[in-house]
Amino acid sequence: MNRVEFFYDLSSPWTYMAFHAIGPILAEAGTGMTLRPLLVGGVFNAVNQGVYDNRSNSQSPKARAMAKWTGEWAAYAGVPMNFPSEYHPLRSVHAMRFCCALEDDQAALMRFSRAAFETYFRDQRNLDDPAELVVVADACGLDGKSLAEMTQTQPVKDRLRDNTDEVIERGAFGSPSIFVDKDHMYFGNDQLPLVRARLMAGA
């Protein structure tokens, strides 16, 4: 049984870094991870609207510092990061529906998510474009056209909404929201040491 749930949205640089960095922690703890796609805009609208105020003031001391730290964290983690691009902030609903269409096949979802992160943060391509998402999926050995069709079905739309509602009910306010053993929530790339400590304490 996987002890870790990783609720995520592909639009977040901190999520990309955490997605990359959590693997060795899971291996050390001898456990797996279940990927749970969410729509971070839905989370922000419900419980964290202050994010939009921060975005509107890109020259504030906090915003300038965060931009610098993002680059330093990416270098520290060894993650290629060309950010922000012209497509930031990303409207991620199409991308996250692709993820939800794959959620029952975690191996495929892992491949697609890794490739999509690199497409957006390394290559600066537009993940709001369904045609671009088809290309990413095809490159992973998946059937991009069929996935695109699935994203327009009600069950996939409902799954994204349900995942987002669930994570809000569990106390989350952004991406990534990482749960260990269901009850212990951690947020962001910088809390991975706490995730490791919790996993190792219960190993």
Q: pLDDT tens for residues 144-156? A: 999 999 999 999 9
Helical packing angle, 13-29 and 106-121, nearest 10°: 140
Residue 196 has a CB neighbour count (10 Å cut-off) of 18
User: Cα dist. 117→49, 81, 110, 132, 135 in Å?
Assistant: 24, 10, 11, 13, 13
Classify strands 184-187 and 33-37 as parallel, antiparallel or unpaired. Answer: unpaired
C-alpha to C-alpha distance for 23 and 21, rounded to whole angstroms: 6
| Residue-wise pLDDT tens digits, 12-36 | 999 999 999 999 999 999 999 999 9
Question: Which residues pair with residue 174 across a beta bridge?
Answer: none
CB 31 within 8 Å of CB 3: yes
Residue type, 1: M
Which runs of E-coded beta strand occur in 3-92? Answer: 4-8, 33-37
C-alpha to C-alpha distance for 33 and 44, rounded to whole angstroms: 24
Q: Which of 114, 87, 94 is closest to 15 using CA atoms?
A: 114
> What CATH number corresponds to the domain at position 8?
3.40.30.10
Is omega for the bond preceding 193 within 30 degrees of 0, making it cis? no
Q: Is the pTM of this model over 0.95?
A: no
- Provide the domain count of the chain: 1
Would you give the distance in Å from CA 45 to the centre of its chain? 17
pLDDT at 170 over 70: yes
Q: Give the model's confidence band at 84: pLDDT under 50 very low, under 70 low, under 90 confident, else very high.
A: confident
Q: Give the model's confidence band at 185: pLDDT under 50 very low, under 70 low, under 90 confident, else very high.
A: very high
Residue 121: give the domain boundaries: 4-201
The one-character DSSP state at 156 is H
